[in-house]
Structure 1
């Protein structure tokens, strides 16, 4: 604290000296200007006596800090001069006494925030406000003090160097910054030093570079180091401010340690039945290094097992894996010895070690005996058998043995899945294969058998081998035409015209390929109509021998064609070719032909095909229209409302006027067909069948009463109609409840009107509805009476 106060006093004295020097310079300059004014009236006299002010930063006292004083030569000291201050910080940072010109700082100043302020001052007449002199500019500079400690902006630092690095090896450079003014004093002059981390590392006091100071630092002993570096201003002197940073240093690995096997002798065992490539065991040579410096490669450098075992490195490049290289046999050799070397794969020439980077160990492998399955003398058998071989022919003998010392007896068999049709048989004792069924190459040209060999004393030990049997071809199938040929000849065909090209097929496969011979059968050798030409390329042409063909004369010709092969023994067959005579146009297109068992050729003209399809379409349309008209003519003349009345109970509660209400019910619908109104009615109902002229032959005599044209009593007629309706088995079974009640003379129901009833409050009997209702229903439907005109439902 004392040093800080001493520094401030020193700065104050320096400031006073500078102000005196500045005042002297101003006075001299003013004297020069006065002399120049005498010589020249254009020179303006300068009245200010200052140039710049200095003030220390971080002033902490409560009262304002005095900066300096403004004064003009025009100020005679009577108070008529007023001073003004403007510019940066005027009014809020700096204040001015307008009478005396004293300037004070009213805020704490920080040079690191703002190093200087530019202000403007002017002297005015207090009464008139007129300037006494022009406005002048001056600067207030903030002088620095040591109030900021050094800072490491990039810390904490990390660095990596190889282990065993020599002394003086550069590690990293650290840099600190100080916000104080580097051009004034020693406030920003830094010195670096190590607080923690010695004696392994050192730091340059001026540059901040870190170097190795201790040799032979071993990563395997210690891998991480932490340094604390200090930066102090005032060049590290007492009273300076300091800042620290941490540096984490890691030693990277180098290959400076040799691998070492944990054992000098490893013992392993393996079954003699282990397949090639199976793992026997693994060993490892450990290395204190890490990463690629610890990666290993292993090799067998000696021993009697080099030909039977192999060694490789796992995916991590750390372990050695020993595998079977060759089939083992306990009966041949019981154990093997391997000499294995493990060495590093990566070397750094910059670092040399005294010890070799490898190690050697011994591996002893014991072969264990197992009861092995029988083994065949070959891994695969191939046999050829002619398809005409007789049943029981021995075509192959296989042999197997027990590889064990016991040498047990072997029994042979065929796996049933490989011979589902049981075409072959095997002798169980000597392994002879023979045919059990006739062979047919055309059905199966190959047979793949699996032959099994089993020990008598241990049936679970079974060996197997694959036997491929090829059935050799024998010429035992005759050739035949490739398809059933049916062709045609035009009536206008001439002699020598090609009618058909024929080819043949043969399921046999002769060694030199197929060679077919074509000819007409002996019975058709002298055919006057057609001839067959053999093209000597397994095909033949059918040609005409004459012209003048006619459908009326003969429409169909049958030609027997003989086909034979060229193998031994020769095989042949006869096929019949059908030739029809057709009428053709000038281009050879068929116009008409005998339809019997003949399909029109595929080259039918497009115009003829379109005409046929058009005729078929017109015929279908006519049939549809005809059916539609017939269905409409048979449909009853019901309105849409009437068509929906079926399966519904419709009730009409209006009471008509009896038989006098002719608008409610059409009485003519119940008259005899001989009556004129009924006849006219039938003319309108053309969809109904004509009435019978007489009902006497359909109705019993006691039910028939002759009805005249003018008779009002139609009871008998209704009875007859009801009888006929009840007897009609073709009447539609409608479910609608339609009751027709006739009120006339002699009606047993009487009047249904409540107005004519003597006792309107008495319930009437309506049993007659149950008796007559269904009958009237059928009768009304029979004559097409609309239920909308019925007097009652």
Structure 2
């Protein structure tokens, strides 16, 4: 638009101009997704497509050749090529092997202007990997494998591992192994490990070095996956030889049987041969075997086995009725190696012998009414087991065959009836009858027994039920009332109470009187003539007599041995005349000595002491002086008040009547 500059008014109508920008080649081709990664199977044919590349150019494709791109390969020849127009990369070399080279780098250039001079260009990189195909057969790394296994290896033990190597990878390298031949194909087995690469040989059956020390296996390894492109070649596989050596092991003894079963009659004598067991050392050394019985399996020691021969014998009498089966464990041990021990079970069934007489099932007792007949079924039991079943025969004992009162009828069904042979029974005539019954079984040898049935005569009601039978010596009269029983018990109770009171009063009267408050304080006044070794030479009074004065009564009339020296020492002062015959001082003198002698002879007189003298303490006494009368220096807890009170009086009395002189050692 044109306007007046002064007035700003349009000078003419608006005019439109179109400006077109002409493109020039100022943008190079670009690969927006580069760099690229691609893969192609190995051994691919020439011309096999790998990947297609597309480059973009920002220039105007409608104007000239600025946007026309041409592709070319700068790096990667002669393995790969690129289509100049489409940008498709293809295989240009046949039989490329992944196992030889797996990765390739290809550089592709895109140039505009149709590839002419002056055009712009751009490049990208393509990483190409050859993928694996199963084009290689497996090959064992050894043509002969040497392996060993101990003969003690259990079933399932691993013997060794083999590997058929395959240059392929992944599923193309997975293997399957099998034993196709050899003398050990039944003894060993082979499997593939979890990676499906290795073959593991294991023990299939127990081994025995002594029977066969070595085995040979022919093992085949084959691929499990076959590539369709190489199917015409057939399966890829390889074969190898495995030699397995069995190592000798010191094995425990081996019994000829895994278990033994023996039947033995229960009347077998002690020392009867039950069974001869045989065990041998399976090793080539063939060591000597020794036999024994496991004590826990035969705690009662019914059996014994000879240590060298293996002869199992009875050691005690058997009884099927007590123990019907004996399960014994016999041990076999190598003499040169006690750690090698084998055990075997011996089941001994004790067979029944008719050695038990039939016995009546319970205590036989029946009754007969005074005015009625009575009978009772008798049954028996036999602990033996006869083959044809138990059958018993009943009859009266020979001494009762002509019994006028009763008879027996065998019911032939293991029961019998006792029947009366007469009427008119009376308790006044006879109240008790004893009927011996003879019973036998039907087996050989026949066993018999005799039992006695007790039959009472009773008063019965109209229905035949016993009401009153003759009382036994131990039974109470039937007519005794409850009040009479209570009266009898009350009288017995009163008598018991009276007896207890009398015993209590008697004991109270016999209780000795002691002036001291402590009734159990007693003292031994001990004489020390020549102590020598200390207190070992003292003769003390029996302490039991002090605590239980009643026991001393058993010794009445016997002189106390600990007082004999004192009695002899005092006897020289006793006058020859009667003690009470004279008068004056002699009467008192004799009276005192008589009382002293009487007290010494009476073991129950308080305070139950022994009066002895001492003249010389002796040497060797640790306590220096053992006198218990040192009241000034003694630290004992006992109280000796009664000695302090009566001692001086007795001393003065003794000096007065010439029993001892004042310059003599005191009696206490």
TM-score (structure 1 length as normaliser): 0.41
Q: Which has the higher contact order (CA 8 A, sep 6+)?
A: 2
TM-score (structure 2 length as normaliser): 0.48
